[in-house]
Structure 1
Amino acid sequence: MGLRPLALSAVSLPQRAYRLASRALALPLLGWLWWRGRREPGYRQNLRQRLGFIPIEPESFGCIWVHAASVGEVQAVQPLLHALQREWPAHAIVVSTQTPTGARALHTHWGDQLRHVYAPIDTPGAVARFLDRLQPRLLILVERELWPDWLQQCRANAVPVALVNARLSDRSVRTYQRWQGLMRPVWSQLTVLAADGDSAERFRALGVPAPRLHQTGNLKFDVAVPAARVALPPELQPRKLIVAGSTHEGDETVWLEAWAELSPAHPDWLLVLVPRHPQRFDEAAQLVHGRGFRFVRRSRGEVVSADTQVLLIDTMGELLHWYQHAALCFVGGTLAPVGGHNPLEPMSVGQPVLFGPHTHNAAPLFSDIERTGAGTCVRNARELADTAQQWLTQTAVMHARATAARELIAHNQGASERSLAVLRPLWAPAHTGNLSRVRAVALPGRTGWFDPRHLSEVSEQTFDPTAHTHGTALATGSGRGQALLISDGGRGYVLRHYRRGGLVARLSNDRFWRTAPHHSRAMREFSLLRLMRSWQLPVPEAVAASHRPRGPWFYEADILVGLIPGSANVVQLLQQRALTPDEWATLGQAIRRLHDRQVFHSDLNAHNLLLDDVGQAWVVDFDKCGVRAGDDWKTRNLDRLLRSLRKEAGRVSPYHWADAEWAHLQTGYDDAPEDLDALA
């Protein structure tokens, strides 16, 4: 994945223009990230990952890649991640973010349970490297992260893409319509899980096919509430906390203007100000100081005294804690023209909310909040002061609004399970038992990968045929392969040494141009076999793989796979007897199962098709194979097999084959039950 160049014919003219522009902007973008890192050092860390150079961890190959751009998306996708973890091992879920604050939010909630990487910038090279080093089977985008080259290359590599908790405003629709030539292929590719009905209709208008469009609800309603509240320190317990969360400068300016009126009249009230971005902590402190308020900063451990008017929370990951203890909650990004942050966090702990007029990021949600009485919109400092005064002095009003908030949350929960039901067909019929952790080891003179379910360890002797004195040589392929049957504790394995064919073999029969281990033939086949086994396709188990450098320019490769008991390849069988029509049909069905999963076999021939002693068909030897988009190659794949069957008729005797028997294989291929999960 990521190695085969994208054919120019597969890339539209608008896409080519976009790629030129993205390449031209790549260096300025990296410079901007570096400059922004002056105030937030996280932007300067892992800049190589922005170019796709993420660490290679083979246990992540075949993972579900979830992209949550920043803090809001990380918070939104948490319920879905919890639901995914019930069906997937944690090491097979990888989450990318674009901001360091998003990375910190992920780590705060998950620790080291989930792997985190920074997402690549949207250039062809960065995206290709990223996909090659991650090799995902599914990409889940959160809310509205639609990057054209990500989607183009996922299409080319047959990686399904889902957009969850999808929200779309009228303004975004107009933007996408202006770039219709670039975005048109995207809509038919996406599976969209819309957060609300209005967004679903907008996606439909843009061209998302009806079977791929689902209204699953807002994931943020499923946010998990901490089981226990952390008590406030004694000095805060007698105070009424008015929490303004996720604020920007425009929010803070209005609040401080209103607070100049409220604070003197209510000295027991305390404004708890929680800026959205850490790089603004000092700026927010200057704003408060400039207004003459007595304030303390959380990060400095300063104690709130009786005359403190403002508590500035200049630390990360505490917002929900302050919402839990609030007497009144305000949602930021709404008095500032940002579009609104998540109002469901305070509502999840039973708090009604105040918010400003700028709510276009989630207009239907804020509309429902106001309609049900779970919140109120305030447009300026005057309205803010009056409404806060009313809420905090009229207990019955506050109680009714809190009840409305809890009821609205309860009525809309379940989006994560509905989303999971839509996503399952995109990876089904995955068998998570084959998603075990792969171990990578550095051996003397080589790199080894192995599956601990089959081997407790590997050594140089594992891949050395001379070390297996009781091994039995096997014929594979057209004779140039070298395979050895090995018995280990009652289990059978096949050790195969990669050989070259054709004229090149006269110069070097088993050496290939030097490349990184994960690009080597052995590791690529090892990873592909694991992916196919998780799809429950009829292929052998991947057991171990080896990459061995030979001098500065070459490498050798070996792979160890599980033995298919009682099996023989089609050429061996045809030398003994004719196959029955049912056997030919079974072989055709096995090939169709691979094709339904877009698995391209570069050397589909009669030696690589097996039948075992119970009549099951198998496909082996996946050197230089991979997952490939499109359908045109599938007919050519079958034609190659037909040529192979005819070729063997002139090479071996006896050989029980006639061209008429091809119709039985073709019938099995054509009439095989469609893998509907693969086509979802």
Structure 2
Amino acid sequence: MGRRPLALSAVSLPQRVYRLASRALATPLLGWLWWRGRREPGYRQNLRQRLGHIPIHPEQFGCIWVHAASVGEVQAVQPLLHALLQDWPAHALVVSTQTPTGAQALRAHWGERIRHVYAPIDTPGAVARFLDRLQPRLLILVERELWPEWLQQCRARALPVALVNARLAERSARGYQRWAALMRPVWPQLTVAAADAASAERLRALGVPAAQLHTTGNLKFDVAVPREGSALPPALQARTLVVAGSTHAGDESAWLSVWPALSAAHPDWLLVLVPRHPQRFDEAADNLRRSGLQSVRQSEGQPVLPQTQVLLVDAMGELMHWYRHAALCFVGGTLAPVGGHNPLEPLSLGQPVLFGPHTRNAAALFDDIEQSGAGERVQDAAALATAVQAWLRQGDAGQARADAARALMARHQGAAARTLALLQPLWWPAHTGNIGRVQRWQGDAGQSAWYDPARLPEVSARTFDPAAQRGGTALATGSGRGQALRIGDGAQGQVLRHYRRGGLVARLSDDLFWRAPAHRSRAMQEFSLLRLMRSWQLPVPEPVAASHRPVGALFYRADIVVGLIPDSSNVVQWLQRRPLEPAEWQALGRAIRQLHDRQVFHADLNAHNLLLDAQGQAWVVDFDKCDVRPREGWKQANLDRLQRSLRKEAGRVSPYHWRETDWDTLLAGYRATPARPPPGT
């Protein structure tokens, strides 16, 4: 069920109850997805990903994970993805969805440029596996996708979470209030970019700290519109197109009840129905046949004849095309009690909109559209018929509404830039130059390796074999367990370290570890953590290569190659030669503080793992069994361990130029005000 799924002591009682309930509901949920796949095969595809079994791509470790549940969220986040790509390479962005239609919308816009995965169901095991296999540095949720287990495990990993384009209706806020005990820990960990002031106020009332709550505007205003669209076929160019987009059954029944009379009075008018969900295409076609209207179904290739009254568009990704050529646009999900879909798609084309009374999904936006004159709300089918006739007969009024639509869009644009500015501190100072593509090598007997081709053009089994490294120099980094070998030449040299056991276990086997998949092995875990820390510009060595070698059915061995830090010695070696200057002790304290500000826990912080180079720059090495973890209490324990190590060496080596007052100097460097507050903590 994933890493430590039963460690319930770290979570609240409501979260424990939720975990038990989520586990109990997991099998029925997977069964429902399978059943739904009868009509939408996409729901049956990649079911393993719903349990967190996503493919492992180490080049994407340290990525930004964006979750956009379905089509609407994918459309909303497009401007932000465009903005993110200015700072991040495409391989370092991963987008998850919950619906196949969301996945289709992502692929339609981005192709294979941005990786897609299906989001895990909200059970401890599924979420843990997903995070282990993706290892993101930041989670961006779109609109209102707040899953308690996701957020609990992100908090446990000190993973920042942002909620962008946040929209929260009054009814949804009341729902969260009913689950206050479960949701209470969620709100303080969020950085929120709200789409409107009303949503921001509701989130503040629920518990999002004011300092982390910002109103940045609706991202959908920034959706880029293709400058040119395909032309209509000749049979449609002479028709007046009335486009009802993203419709549900309630919307379609209203239109079909009024269209016979409208069509009889205006034979050149053509109703274009574009259902919201592909699984409803057949249902919509059946309803059209029963209505008695002359209709054609686009997928069947039938021509639109002069007597055709309705065109059913049963295809995904074509709505903007039809909105572009419409004489009148209607936004679905508003006569049906769904809450309303995206009105900004037609508005971005300069097309005013009609919509029904059910607009709770974006109430503030629809109110703004109505008040600005860029659209009109109708209460029922009769009002719809009246509005359609009025709109298609009033040329000057129609132009005024179109001008209002364009003005509304211009007034609200810029949300993507504001949201990006809000998010940037959550990954500062990471930059793309430190996020190269990792390559994988597969050897004999199951051995595998990850490596950075910029530092090591190729690897083989010999890369990790000390006997094959001619001229290698042993580097003592500890009292026996942490031996390493210097390989390569000059400043481009590298350090090969073989993982060894410590304590009593080493008497049985000094280098065998219990079997684990490669991505969970010690070498790959340290390799990934070093990549993350290097992107944060922390004083740690460059990760070069990591190896995982299965041994029988139960064990594995591991090795790692890191960049050599030229002209450096560890603190014990320096103290055997001379006392350290106050500036050097302070540099060591600052280096530790940099790690702690990024919540990096060093499992073996000691005098042998702290280095100083010839210029007095401090470095921290050997990150076996280390991780990024939340909270503050462990930081003092880290410092205490280092202090014990410095004192211990005084009884082991001589000469040893250590004074107790040196510790105070190191702490002075540690306690100095950091250059910038740590983000997302």
The two structures have a TM-score, normalised by structure 2, of: 0.98
User: In structure 1, what is the equivalent of residue 189 of structure 2?
Assistant: 189
Structure 1 position 9, deviation (Å): 3.1
User: In structure 2, what is the equivalent of residue 225 of structure 1?
Assistant: 225
User: In structure 1, what is the equivalent of residue 149 of structure 2?
Assistant: 149
| CA deviation profile, 1:429-479 (whole Å, cap 9, x unmatched) | 112211111111212231010112112221111111122212111111222
| CA deviation profile, 1:567-609 (whole Å, cap 9, x unmatched) | 1100000000111111111101100000010000000000000
**1:49–1:120 Cα contact (<8 Å) kept:** yes
User: In structure 2, what is the equivalent of residue 59 of structure 1?
Assistant: 59
Asked if residue 368 in structure 1 is aligned to residue 368 in structure 2, the reply is yes
2 CA distance for matches of 1:452 and 1:338? 52
Letter in 2 for 1:380: D
2 CA distance for matches of 1:84 and 1:248? 34
User: In structure 2, what is the equivalent of residue 633 of structure 1?
Assistant: 634
> What secondary structure is seen at the aligned counterpart in 1 of 2:25?
helix
Cα distance 1:390–1:345, how it changes in 2: closer, same or farther (>3 A)?
same
Mapping 1:434-449, distance limit 5 Å: 434-445=434-445, 446-449=447-450
2 CA distance for matches of 1:118 and 1:621? 35
User: In structure 2, what is the equivalent of residue 413 of structure 1?
Assistant: 413
Letter in 2 for 1:111: G
Mapping 1:17-36, distance limit 5 Å: 17-36=17-36
Structure 1 position 666, deviation (Å): 1.0
Mapping 1:249-288, distance limit 5 Å: 249-288=249-288
User: In structure 1, what is the equivalent of residue 463 of structure 2?
Assistant: 462
User: In structure 2, what is the equivalent of residue 509 of structure 1?
Assistant: 510
Q: Quick check: 447-456 or 480-489, which moved more?
A: 480-489
Q: CA RMSD in A?
A: 1.3
1 CA distance for matches of 2:679 and 2:382? 58
**1:596–1:675 Cα contact (<8 Å) kept:** no
| CA deviation profile, 1:298-317 (whole Å, cap 9, x unmatched) | 11222111111111110101
Structure 1 position 677, deviation (Å): 4.2
Asked if residue 198 in structure 1 is aligned to residue 198 in structure 2, the reply is yes
User: In structure 1, what is the equivalent of residue 592 of structure 2?
Assistant: 591
Structure 1 position 675, deviation (Å): 3.6
User: In structure 2, what is the equivalent of residue 567 of structure 1?
Assistant: 568
User: In structure 2, what is the equivalent of residue 172 of structure 1?
Assistant: 172
**2:187–2:207 Cα contact (<8 Å) kept:** yes
Asked if residue 162 in structure 1 is aligned to residue 139 in structure 2, the reply is no
**2:67–2:97 Cα contact (<8 Å) kept:** yes
Asked if residue 617 in structure 1 is aligned to residue 618 in structure 2, the reply is yes
User: In structure 2, what is the equivalent of residue 646 of structure 1?
Assistant: 647
Letter in 2 for 1:393: R
Letter in 2 for 1:155: R
> What secondary structure is seen at the aligned counterpart in 2 of 1:449?
strand
**2:160–2:680 Cα contact (<8 Å) kept:** no
Structure 1 position 488, deviation (Å): 5.0
Letter in 1 for 2:59: E
Cα distance 1:4–1:476, how it changes in 2: closer, same or farther (>3 A)?
farther
**2:473–2:487 Cα contact (<8 Å) kept:** yes
Q: Quick check: 187-196 or 299-308, which moved more?
A: 299-308
Asked if residue 329 in structure 1 is aligned to residue 325 in structure 2, the reply is no
| CA deviation profile, 1:585-640 (whole Å, cap 9, x unmatched) | 11011000000100000000000000011111000000000001111100000011
**1:91–1:115 Cα contact (<8 Å) kept:** yes
**2:76–2:220 Cα contact (<8 Å) kept:** yes
1 CA distance for matches of 2:202 and 2:491? 60
| CA deviation profile, 1:379-436 (whole Å, cap 9, x unmatched) | 1111111111111111111111000000000010000000000000011111221111
**1:64–1:136 Cα contact (<8 Å) kept:** yes
| CA deviation profile, 1:536-557 (whole Å, cap 9, x unmatched) | 0000001111001111111111
Cα distance 1:94–1:465, how it changes in 2: closer, same or farther (>3 A)?
same
Cα distance 1:677–1:639, how it changes in 2: closer, same or farther (>3 A)?
closer
Asked if residue 430 in structure 1 is aligned to residue 430 in structure 2, the reply is yes
User: In structure 2, what is the equivalent of residue 11 of structure 1?
Assistant: 11
Cα distance 1:388–1:248, how it changes in 2: closer, same or farther (>3 A)?
same
**2:2–2:124 Cα contact (<8 Å) kept:** no
> What secondary structure is seen at the aligned counterpart in 1 of 2:545?
strand
User: In structure 2, what is the equivalent of residue 116 of structure 1?
Assistant: 116
1 CA distance for matches of 2:9 and 2:633? 14
**2:244–2:273 Cα contact (<8 Å) kept:** yes
Q: Quick check: 261-270 or 329-338, which moved more?
A: 261-270
User: In structure 1, what is the equivalent of residue 535 of structure 2?
Assistant: 534
> What secondary structure is seen at the aligned counterpart in 2 of 1:499?
coil
2 CA distance for matches of 1:677 and 1:15? 28
User: In structure 2, what is the equivalent of residue 472 of structure 1?
Assistant: 473
Asked if residue 655 in structure 1 is aligned to residue 656 in structure 2, the reply is yes
User: In structure 1, what is the equivalent of residue 37 of structure 2?
Assistant: 37
> What secondary structure is seen at the aligned counterpart in 2 of 1:559?
strand
User: In structure 1, what is the equivalent of residue 240 of structure 2?
Assistant: 240
Cα distance 1:492–1:151, how it changes in 2: closer, same or farther (>3 A)?
same
Structure 1 position 20, deviation (Å): 1.0
2 CA distance for matches of 1:53 and 1:596? 32
Structure 1 position 2, deviation (Å): 6.8
Letter in 1 for 2:286: Q
Asked if residue 310 in structure 1 is aligned to residue 322 in structure 2, the reply is no
Letter in 2 for 1:456: P
**2:108–2:317 Cα contact (<8 Å) kept:** yes
> What secondary structure is seen at the aligned counterpart in 1 of 2:406?
helix
Q: Which runs of 5+ in 2 are unaligned?
A: none
2 CA distance for matches of 1:622 and 1:2? 23
User: In structure 1, what is the equivalent of residue 93 of structure 2?
Assistant: 93
User: In structure 1, what is the equivalent of residue 674 of structure 2?
Assistant: 673
**1:427–1:677 Cα contact (<8 Å) kept:** no
User: In structure 1, what is the equivalent of residue 393 of structure 2?
Assistant: 393
1 CA distance for matches of 2:142 and 2:402? 29
Structure 1 position 87, deviation (Å): 0.5
**1:275–1:284 Cα contact (<8 Å) kept:** yes
**2:2–2:125 Cα contact (<8 Å) kept:** no
| CA deviation profile, 1:168-202 (whole Å, cap 9, x unmatched) | 11111111111110111111111111000111111
**2:140–2:164 Cα contact (<8 Å) kept:** yes
> What secondary structure is seen at the aligned counterpart in 1 of 2:557?
strand
Letter in 2 for 1:473: A
**2:5–2:124 Cα contact (<8 Å) kept:** no
Structure 1 position 3, deviation (Å): 3.6
Letter in 1 for 2:220: K
Q: Number of residue pairs matched?
A: 680
2 CA distance for matches of 1:444 and 1:239? 68
Structure 1 position 6, deviation (Å): 7.0
Structure 1 position 679, deviation (Å): 4.9
1 CA distance for matches of 2:460 and 2:26? 43
1 CA distance for matches of 2:289 and 2:67? 38
> What secondary structure is seen at the aligned counterpart in 2 of 1:557?
strand
> What secondary structure is seen at the aligned counterpart in 2 of 1:185?
coil
User: In structure 2, what is the equivalent of residue 348 of structure 1?
Assistant: 348
**1:139–1:161 Cα contact (<8 Å) kept:** yes
Q: Quick check: 492-501 or 402-411, which moved more?
A: 492-501
User: In structure 2, what is the equivalent of residue 139 of structure 1?
Assistant: 139
**1:589–1:672 Cα contact (<8 Å) kept:** no
Structure 1 position 7, deviation (Å): 4.4
2 CA distance for matches of 1:405 and 1:278? 29
**2:50–2:121 Cα contact (<8 Å) kept:** yes
Structure 1 position 566, deviation (Å): 0.9
> What secondary structure is seen at the aligned counterpart in 2 of 1:676?
coil
> What secondary structure is seen at the aligned counterpart in 1 of 2:369?
helix
Matched residues, percent identical?
73
Q: Quick check: 424-433 or 243-252, which moved more?
A: 424-433
